[in-house]
Amino acid sequence: MQLNRNSMVLIVCAGNSARSQMAEGLLQQLARGRFIVRSAGAHPKDAVHPLAVEVMAEIGIDIHHAYPKPVHIFLRDPVRVAICVCDEASRACAIFPQDIEQVQWTIPDPAAIPGTDEACRAAFRQARDLIAQHLDAWITTQVICDN
């Protein structure tokens, strides 16, 4: 798969409120404008989780302006790769043509972790760091053209 400035990588999760939003921010930083990065949800929540915004700010990535979007709004866009960060997301990606590359990662939902504020914050940090590891490994396998 070859990516260029007109290619889109769409990151999908269930609610588009935490994992996919964090992944979008991380991949935008890694992509450095060489391709388009967006995120969406199978069943979008009303807002991005505040702990997702907080833990991304800890590493210098601002996602406070982000908002959840449904996956179907990207059907007419030049999606080349769909990165699904949960099992529900992979079912939602079935609406795309078969010629797009689909990547499947199962990242635990940090918003589903019960506990104290600090335990919840730790779950978001763990998800962020796991997503970053997956993205770092994935991007090294991609052919990216600067045109």
- Of all residues in the chain, the percent with pLDDT exceeding 70 is 99
- Contacts of residue 57, defined as CB under 8 A and 6 or more positions apart, other chains included, come to 64
* pLDDT at residue 99, rounded to an integer: 80
Mean pLDDT of the chain: 92
- Spot the catalytic one: 84, 93, 120, 145: 93
120 catalytic? Reply is no
Name the 3-class secondary structure at 80: strand
pLDDT, one tens digit per residue, over 63-109 is 999 999 999 999 889 899 999 999 877 777 777 777 889 999 999 99
- This prediction's pTM: 0.94
* pLDDT at residue 1, rounded to an integer: 65
Q: For residues 86 and 39, what is the distance between their CA atoms, to the nearest angstrom?
A: 13
- Spot the catalytic one: 13, 84, 120, 145: 13
84 catalytic? Reply is no
Bridge partners of 10, per DSSP, are 38, 82
* pLDDT at residue 97, rounded to an integer: 72
Class of domain 2-139: alpha beta
Q: Quote the radius of gyration of the chain (alpha carbons, Å).
A: 14
* pLDDT at residue 36, rounded to an integer: 96
